[in-house]
Amino acid sequence: AQKITQTQPGMFVQEKEAVTLDCTYDTSDQSYGLFWYKQPSSGEMIFLIYQGSYDEQNATEGRYSLNFQKARKSTNLVISASQLGDSAMYFCAMRGIIQGAQKLVFGQGTRLTINP
């Protein structure tokens, strides 16, 4: 079974600072994918960034980057130069790369608040 753990219920950061959101995972799959989604108060889950288990380089997407440490089974999200619009819930998720349903398993999320 796959499991995602996000240990930070809430984070408070000053605008323009960088922030790191933690995520650890557990799986017996050899191949898997790791995702981060942002959920504003409106409720929609917005895809941010993806890391494949066999990707040798850490994924980056604009102000978002991942600190992927496979041996430690962690994939932390780094947001550089935070903005007020970054305030939201952030969810880490994973899926196996097997045939059939590619369902996502989510963590409990971290609520990020950016202070002006």
Partner 1 sequence: DTGVSQDPRHKITKRGQNVTFRCDPISEHNRLYWYRQTLGQGPEFLTYFQNEAQLEKSRLLSDRFSAERPKGSFSTLEIQRTEQGDSAMYLCATQAGALDTQYFGPGTRLTVL
Contacting partner 1 within 51-90 (CB under 8 A): none
Residue 103 CB neighbours (<10 A): 10
97 binds partner 1 (CB under 8 A): yes
11 binds partner 1 (CB under 8 A): no
CA distances from 28 to 1, 2, 48 (A): 7, 7, 25
Helix (H, G, I), strand (E, B) or coil at 47: strand
32 binds partner 1 (CB under 8 A): no
Helix (H) or strand (E) holding 112: strand 110-115
* Residue 22 C-beta: closest distance to partner 1, Å: 15
* Residue 70 C-beta: closest distance to partner 1, Å: 18
Question: Which of these segments, 19-27, 38-46, 55-63, 70-78, binds partner 1 (CB under 8 A)?
Answer: 38-46
Question: Which of these segments, 19-27, 32-40, 64-72, 73-81, binds partner 1 (CB under 8 A)?
Answer: 32-40
User: How far is residue 3's CA from residue 56's CA, in Å, rounded to a whole number?
Assistant: 22
Q: C-alpha 80: how far from its chain's center?
A: 14
Binding site for partner 1 (CB under 8 A): 4, 33, 35, 37, 42-47, 50, 91, 93, 97, 99-109
